[in-house]
Structure 1
Amino acid sequence: MTVIAGVAGQPIGHSLSPLIHRAWIAAAGLDADYRAFGPEDEAGFAALVAEGRARGLRGLNVTAPFKAAALALADEVSASARLCGSANLLVFERGRISADSTDGEGLMAALAEQAPELDVAGQSVLILGAGGAARAAAAALTAAGADVGVLNRSAERARVLAADLGVRVAGPDAETKAALVVNALSVPPGLDIGALRRDAVLMDMTYRPLLTSFLAAGRARGLTTVDGLAMLIGQARPSFRALFGMDPPPVDVRVLALAALGETE
């Protein structure tokens, strides 16, 4: 019987997840498919999840705007998803739903790949934003031993995140001390790149465009940069393991994703 999994979000046409997972499925020779689902609203998403639970859908990756709803619909929630307050992975098994967040694992994998010399243990790290992506970053980096500070336009949201995850609200000059700055905002941050440490690493969770204005400014100053595509692929690997019960085969899915984006390295 063909194993069916997929990704749910709105809009969903831009998602690279089907391309990535189908490449791994083909290389592994699995009797499986990975599809894109685009529910119109939360009611539609809930209906998709209910249908998936009933008909034996193996699972779903979940993207905006349904990550919080995914958490609420689950029967079992991982510690990482609970910390994030959202889930990007639902796995269906015998009529029950398990929720997880692989974003933090994806972030750490991206750092290891594109900034291998960075050791965040004991280092000051600045996260820009206070949403689910920022929470995932804060949880993963704190677990790795970093001293995490959060900066957000809404100071109250930053305080709530800091209290929930045991990190600090960053001060106005936090960028001058940070060994790593992570942009978890959907817009370019208003940050003075010139004030950063000469050895600072910049990471942007966005991958459209691959080289954001934030990363471009960092590169112009000679800083190491980490892009959102590396994180996307990094979080897809544990998702593939959870959905299909095996490690992804050694396929260079980054090359395929870059071609789909019309980007080059």
Structure 2
Amino acid sequence: MDRQTGGEAAWPGREALHDLAACLRFYSRLPVPQLPGEPDPHRAPDFTRLPRMLPLAGAILALPAAMTLSAAWLAGLGPFLSATLAVAIMAAATGGLHEDGLADFADGLGAGGDRTRMLAIMRDSRIGSYGALVLVLALALRIGALATLLDRLGLPAAAALVVAAALSRVAALAPMALLPPARSDGLSATAGRPQGASLALAAALGLVLAIATLPFGLPLGGTVAMIVLGAFATLAVTGLARNRLGGQTGDVIGACQQAAEIAALLGLVAAVAP
């Protein structure tokens, strides 16, 4: 018997699988059922341990978009329409969670003022001109990067989409690990800070996923460029949050993910320039 749940005995990898399911529930709108032996699936996520499975969750979330990208390309829809459909599917799967954070982050910092005012604007559910502008530019950059990759690489662009999704989820852990919560009453204040072991495992898993896609046509130099530029974008957003907000919020984490994903895709584009 399982001493924690009083149910069936634990089996190897069970906790990791439960963490993966929790990641998919929290970061997407996918209908993930309760797994055998899993505690309450609706409980608040524990971010001290949960992040270790984020790269794999990101890759899973990107698979429908990658399949859409490939199918549309093979159907002859061309690079722009194929990329647009893929980004639309990705947004539908995640519910625009990170895009919402990016828009709120842009609204708060764009409006300026003191820390309290910026945080209050970021908490407002309404989108402002700065958020709308940044959101449009972010979508355009993602679509443009994917369309360019389709034009230059063909179907391996789908693998790039999966890699960027996995790596950017690892990048989004940086503000949580490096900065204190900017609010005492926000989700980031109650969710906990990722443990060193969880961060190390997340980074290792992200690297393994990136290496695993090399046989699908991604160049090694391009994969390295994705990692390096994604890391630079992560540090830039984290530093901006530290200087302007004095800490991190869920919106900062979302902005970090979006910046890292865009930077990773652009790094690959530059690496495979004709």
Q: Same fold (TM over 0.5)?
A: no
Which structure has greater helix proportion? 2
Higher relative contact order (CA 8 A, sep 6+): 2
Q: Calculate the TM-score normalised by the size of structure 1.
A: 0.29
